Every structure is written in C-alpha cells, then in structure tokens.
A = this chain, B = another copy of it.
Amino acid sequence: MNAKDILMKAVQCDKDGRILEAQDLYQDGIQILMELVGDEKDTAKKKVYLERIKEYIDRAEQIKLRVQKHMESGEIVANIPIDDNSTGHSYKSLFGKYLNGAVKEILIDEPYFTERYQFQNFIVLLELAVKQCKNLKYVRVVTKPDPKNPAGQNSMMKNIKDDLTQRGITLSIKFEATLHDRKIILSNGYIIKIGRGLHFFKPTNPQYTLGLCDYDYRNCLQTDVDICRTKTFS
C-alpha cells in the first residue's frame, strides 16, 4: 500500500474504534511520508507533506494518550488470588466472559515469549479469543526480544501471524527490551493484569496426563489476577 491508502485505512480504523491498528498505520504512513519529503525538491509540495506528517503524528499521539488514559481510569471488577498448586484457572475460567463480540482489538504486554510452552500459552489464549471475540481484527503483542534465539522467536511469531491473517486478524509484534509489565487490554474496556503474566501454569507431570490441553487441570504457580473495567477505546 502507498502512504495515501495506508493513511486512509488508518482514519477508517480510527473511526471504527480500532485505535491500536490505526496507531500502527499512522506510524507506517508517517514513515513513508518522511521518505517522500526527503526526496522532494519542490518546496511547496514539501510543505504540504510536512503538514500532513504533523497531522498524523498528532493523531497517533492522541491515540497513545487515549490508551494511557484508558488504563488509568479503571475500576477493579474482580480480584482473583491464585494459590500455589491450585487448579481450575484456565484463561477461559479466569477471564473468558470478558472476551466477547465487543472486542475488536487486544493488546498483550508479556515480557517472555521464548520457550515452546510460552508460545503454547499464547496460542491457548488466541484459541479462546478468536472463538469468543467474533469481531476481533487486531492483536498487538509487546514482548522482549529473545537474545539467544531471535530467529526462532521470529519464526514462531510469523507462523502465528500467518495463521491469524487467514482468519482476518492482524497480529502486530513489537519488541521492547526493557518491558516488565504484564497486562491484557481488551478494546471493550476490560484490562486483565496477572502478576506473572501468561505463564503461571506448571507443566503436566508426567507430560501425558490431564491438563495437557485443558489448562483447568493444570497446577498453578501463586499469582494474583486483577480485572479492571474502563471505557471502551472508541
């Protein structure tokens, strides 16, 4: 897509309440416009480009503020303490009821996606979200880059991204080396904060026993889950 198409799509997403996707598209569009400005000799055209760039930077900034504000203004609707070795705490049991048709976008801040079981946890979450959020269009994951095996991490993420693309869902992956916070933000106004992030399940032992696929059977590590409600994105 050229800058015009990208920015038109960004504006459309913005109107549609898909603000995380709009933010990404604004940034992509700004990037392309910046390159065009560099190559442009005509001062008048250059000025038009720069005005446009400023406009879209403002819009992207507004979205950032909106998401921040969204997170600050929440009221806690549930606090679920998970005891060490307790069971019955699959993602579905914990927060499945908030994953509904009103969710268009999901933002997942989770520092660790490097081990296979961590990718499995991500897939189990997506299996749930895709099934229940019939209008899901966009998932953004923010995670730490894997210093040991960046190619493996990219390849795993690419496979999942391709899978979601076939289902009409965009997966955007952002790497932040210093990420610590864990949270899941749903565009319907719910925020799920789990002390340990997604990875609070102990492995089945022996491996091939109940809990292999249904996490309600898994023993858990001690952690706390807070669920907050704020306004919707749009």
Minimum C-beta distance from A187 to chain B (A):
20
Question: Which residue of the partner chain B has the closest CB to A207?
Answer: B159
**Interface contact A123-B208, CB-CB below 8 Å:** yes
- Produce 1/0 per residue, A108-131, CB < 8 A to B: 000000001001100110111011
Within 8 A of B (CB), among A188-234: 206, 208-214, 216-217
Question: Which residue of the partner chain B has the closest CB to A119?
Answer: B208
- Roughly how many angstroms separate A127 CA and B214 CA in the complex, as a whole number? 7
Question: Which residue of the partner chain B has the closest CB to A126?
Answer: B210
Minimum C-beta distance from A133 to chain B (A):
13
**Interface contact B217-A127, CB-CB below 8 Å:** yes
**Interface contact B209-A160, CB-CB below 8 Å:** yes
Within 8 A of B (CB), among A122-154: 123-124, 126-128, 130-131
**Chain B residues closer than 8 Å to A156, beta-carbon distance:** 208
**Interface contact B216-A124, CB-CB below 8 Å:** no
- Roughly how many angstroms separate A206 CA and B164 CA in the complex, as a whole number? 13
**Interface contact A120-B208, CB-CB below 8 Å:** yes
- Roughly how many angstroms separate A126 CA and B123 CA in the complex, as a whole number? 21
- State the oligomeric state as a number of copies: 2
- Roughly how many angstroms separate A116 CA and B213 CA in the complex, as a whole number? 13
Minimum C-beta distance from A230 to chain B (A):
28
**Interface contact A212-B124, CB-CB below 8 Å:** yes
**Chain B residues closer than 8 Å to A131, beta-carbon distance:** 214, 216
- Roughly how many angstroms separate A164 CA and B214 CA in the complex, as a whole number? 15
A163 at the interface (CB under 8 A from B): yes
**Interface contact B210-A116, CB-CB below 8 Å:** no
**Interface contact A209-B159, CB-CB below 8 Å:** yes
Question: Which residue of the partner chain B has the closest CB to A163?
Answer: B209
Q: Looking at the complex, which one of B130, B167, B213 makes contact with A127 (CB distance below 8 Å)?
A: B213
Question: Which residue of the partner chain B has the closest CB to A212?
Answer: B123
**Chain B residues closer than 8 Å to A120, beta-carbon distance:** 208, 212-213
Q: Looking at the complex, which one of B160, B167, B210 makes contact with A208 (CB distance below 8 Å)?
A: B160
Within 8 A of B (CB), among A36-95: none
Minimum C-beta distance from A42 to chain B (A):
48
